[in-house]
Amino acid sequence: MTSTVDAAERTLPAASAVSPSKTQAFPPGRLRIRSIEVIPLRAPLPRVFRGSKYQMTTRCTIITRVLTEEGIVGEIYNGDEDDTQAAILRIIRDELAPAVIGMDAFNTEGCWEAMFPATQDILRDRKLATSAIACVDSAIWDAAGKALGVPLYKIWGGYHQSLPLIAIGGYYHNSLRELGDEMAWYRDQGIAGCKVKVGGASPEEDAERVRAARDGGGPDFVLMADANQGYTRAEAIRFCRLVEGLNLRWFEEPCRWIDDRRAMRDVRLTTGVPICAGQSEISRAGARDLMAEGAIDVCNFDASWAGGPTEWRRVAAMATAYDVQMGHHEEPQIAAHLLGAISHGTYLECFHPDRDPLFWQLIVNRPGPKDGRYPIPQGSGFGVELDRDTIARYRA
């Protein structure tokens, strides 16, 4: 079994043997998993990015490669973990790789079930295991798509050719003027809107920040507020009253985690502002409960935290029964194909290059946004080609 970082470094050139830009299909049949390789990346950020109750100083991710006996290589990156990255790598190496090596990569459901026991360890945070499964599940899907010579969004439904692209920004290091300038910059880059960070100040102060974002972006700029569970229920309702007339597309994770479902339901029904949540859930059951309790209008379940595309697609199917739209928390390299496959998908999310140098530097063939929309990559699998120099620069 090959699963070490050193092994991945030695075999990096093999990925070029199957380019996602090529569409020639591998003859259908068995696609036996031979080995799994992982490469952790860690990019220091130029400044601290602070949300409501957290801050980021690095952009981290894990590249996972699934190598098959037939020569097909699935390769994609997932997640943004720093302190827990080593634990996720250990789970992939010690638990998931032995479970799936020798299995048929076309049997995505079987591979996922073979990895699921890693979530049953009650002595560790289950999110470590679901994040590890997400890495391997994503790379398995990429291998399957490459073997068939088809983009994954077409395999999963093929509903869209492009998606509206928004940024996640408006962090607390910005003054009101800088915040407005940031929104104008996104517009100039062909980005349709922004989720502005709130919840780290009073509702009154945050309402002023959102007003500055609206002024900077203009009347047709798509604007959301993201509190990352920073407000009490009363504060969230007060904030909604203060931003009336600013045309918020949604209010994301407005309420503190201890009673978020019922509190979000109250904010939603009291104010009429659409509510988005789901990124903090790591299972279809958690997402189901948000929908069943009437807490959300949009579910931004994160495939890279919660078990991969296989689990995300289960949640997306369930959402149709509750008339809930689907988003995806960050990770545009994964989300483009998931959201592009379905009729009830919403917005693709990215960051400013200072906050996410990997999205802007790591993907060789990244399409540029135009008129607020991001073309879904048309190469096989996820259609992503990774830059080897960027990998070498940020390898952890």
pLDDT in tens, 106-164: 999 999 999 999 999 999 999 999 999 999 999 999 999 999 999 999 999 999 999 99
Is the model's pLDDT at 49 over the cut of 50? yes
- Domain residues for 361? 153-387
Distance (Å, whole) CA 316 – CA 346: 12
Q: If you average pLDDT over every residue of the chain, what do you get? A: 92
Which residue type is seen at 133? I
Which residue type is seen at 56? M
Tokens, residue 246: 């600013």
Is the model's pLDDT at 92 over the cut of 80? yes
Residue 64 lies in a domain: yes
Residues 141, 240, single domain; the answer is no
Task: Specify the pLDDT at position 29.
Answer: 77
Residues 321, 369, single domain; the answer is yes
Among the residues of the chain, which ranges form H helices? 5-10, 85-91, 97-100, 108-115, 126-148, 152-156, 176-188, 203-217, 233-242, 260-271, 284-292, 309-319, 332-340, 357-361, 388-394
Residues 198, 307, single domain; the answer is yes
Residues 326, 242, single domain; the answer is yes
Percentage of the chain with pLDDT > 90?
A: 88
Is the model's pLDDT at 21 over the cut of 50? no
Q: Look at residues 150, 184, 207 and tell me which one is the last residue of a structural domain.
A: 150
* pLDDT interval class at 2 (50, 70, 90): very low
Is the model's pLDDT at 13 over the cut of 50? no
Residues 140, 233, single domain; the answer is no
* pLDDT interval class at 6 (50, 70, 90): very low
Q: Look at residues 115, 133, 150 and tell me which one is the last residue of a structural domain.
A: 150
User: Total domain count for the chain?
Assistant: 2
Residue 392 lies in a domain: no
Residues 144, 62, single domain; the answer is yes
Residue 212 backbone dihedrals phi, psi, to 5 degrees:
-65, -35
pTM summary value: 0.92
CB proximity list for 284: less than 8 A, separation 6 or greater = 311, 314, 315, 318
Residues 344, 309, single domain; the answer is yes
The stretch 78-100 carries a mean pLDDT of 96
CATH of residue 275's domain is 3.20.20.120
Is the model's pLDDT at 7 over the cut of 90? no
Is the model's pLDDT at 9 over the cut of 60? no
Task: Give residue-wise pLDDT tens across range 202-260.
Answer: 999 999 999 999 999 999 999 999 999 999 999 999 999 999 999 999 999 999 998 88
Which residue type is seen at 91? I
Task: Specify the pLDDT at position 131.
Answer: 98
The stretch 291-299 carries a mean pLDDT of 97
Is the model's pLDDT at 362 over the cut of 90? yes
Give the residue carrying structure tokens 């799994």. 36
Distance (Å, whole) CA 177 – CA 306: 37
Q: Look at residues 127, 150, 173 and tell me which one is the last residue of a structural domain.
A: 150
The stretch 303-331 carries a mean pLDDT of 97
The stretch 357-369 carries a mean pLDDT of 94
